Amino acid sequence: MNNRTQDTTPTLLSSPLFLALFRSLFLFLFLFLNLKGVSSGAQTPNDTLLIEHLLKQDPASFQKLLAHAGKYRIQIIYTQIDRDANNVPSFKEYTYRLNRQQYFYCASLVKLPCSALALEKLQELQIKGLDRNSTMLTDSSGPCQKKTLLDTSAADGSPSMAQYIRRMLLVSDNNAYSRCYEFLGPEYIHTRLTAKGYPDALIMQRFDPACNTGDNTQTNPVDFYDRSGKLLYHQPAAVCTIPLVHPLSKPVVGKAYIDGKENKVMEPKDFSHSNFLPLADITHLLRSVVFPEATATEQQFQISPDDRLFMLKYMSMLPRESDSPNYKNKTYYDSYKKYLIYGDSKAPIQADTLRIFNIVGQSYGFVTDVAYVCDFKNKVEFMLSAVIYANEDEVINDNKYEYTTVALPFLANLGKSIYRYDKKRKRPRKPILEAFRFRYN
């Protein structure tokens, strides 16, 4: 047995002071190297703090928001896109405060999946002559339903799914969405999105304040005709037969809200019967339209290549570039729905080499933009999705929201920050982006 006394005298390397200094030095070097990589445009692999690091580079734009990110309910997804030797894309996502359990009102984001599903349903019917340009007449058969036999935005006045999709993607038209919703019905929407891997997506509302929860489960009769007036397809009125249950147990927001009778109710607003699209879901839905070749078959929209290009064209088009519908007026300025990078700027967009393929939402204080950004000149592409809640008084539906002072400047600055970073980062090879060039006039 060894009876030698153990030496317990502390050495320099094992002293608490040295260990504390060593840990501080290690942390300093880690942060310094990460921040240096961010500011130089270098990648920071496996760094879940990338977005936060980027925003901290611009304290004038982001310091207040980062300090109260919970209050503003900020969520961000930045997707880097790299191409292989065959130009096939791969994706790497960085997130900030992404949380499927944190409710935000998705508003017009639902117009993207509904546009794609409408094109898919028309193709599914396999009726000769039936397509997105067929005349679409909507009848009424229940409370709050609207008969629609004319579309004054169309050159010939004929309503069509093509014109409704143009109106939704160009200026986020709510009436166009409601007609699209009625053709699909909430049961079809939910069944198809669940089959594509989005069981939490819940689209069960028209955008019509006259319609209550029960009304929205009932959809109108719809008829499609060819140009000669021949009936191609009749869809009778329908009622949703499946339960539509919100995936969140308590989707409530705010401290008070204004009800339909203009009364102030002193409790949070319950969004249990409102549309719901998690930020990750709408990001991946957009990605499946932009990059079907890099999307699992079961998650793709089964639409024709021409229908897909049609959607991409009108997602990226500026309002003034459209002749039918015609939006050549001051109401629909160039950046009307290009919140990322441009915010609420009314100045004309001059750079035709930068295109944003996106869908936005703005309602109840929530502002969201989900976008694929494509820079033909610099060979840059990335995806960026973000939501922010700008409602200082926490009263829902009082129309007192900080859209122009908080939300839109945040999204513009965020878009610029990510664009600058992505333009500098090293890619294995430059992307070939010609497939995203469209003639807009």
**pLDDT confidence of residue 232:** 98
Q: What is the pLDDT of residues 363-376, one digit of tens each?
A: 999 999 999 999 99
The count of other CB atoms within 10 Å of the CB of residue 413 is 19
Q: What is the pLDDT of residues 411-421, one digit of tens each?
A: 999 999 999 99
Distances in Å between the alpha carbon of 132 and those of 58, 219, 417?
A: 46, 19, 38
Q: What is the pLDDT of residues 183-194, one digit of tens each?
A: 999 999 999 999
Question: Is the overall model pTM greater than 0.75, yes or no?
Answer: yes
**pLDDT confidence of residue 42:** 38
| Residues 396 and 254: beta-carbon distance below 8 Å | yes
What does the pLDDT average to over 284-293? Answer: 98
**pLDDT confidence of residue 350:** 85
Distances in Å between the alpha carbon of 362 and those of 108, 279, 393?
A: 7, 14, 17
**pLDDT confidence of residue 441:** 73
Q: Can you tell me the distance from the alpha carbon of 386 to that of 416, in angstroms, rounded to the nearest whole number?
A: 13
| Residues 395 and 257: beta-carbon distance below 8 Å | yes
**pLDDT confidence of residue 44:** 41
Give the phi and the psi of residue 70 in degrees, each rounded to 5.
-65, -45
| Residues 39 and 425: beta-carbon distance below 8 Å | no
Q: Can you tell me the distance from the alpha carbon of 35 to that of 29, in angstroms, rounded to the nearest whole number?
A: 10
Q: Residue 2 pLDDT > 50, yes or no?
A: no
**pLDDT confidence of residue 48:** 66
- Here the tokens at position 20 are 């504390």
Whether domain 50-436 has CATH 2.30.40.10: no
What does the pLDDT average to over 424-441? Answer: 94
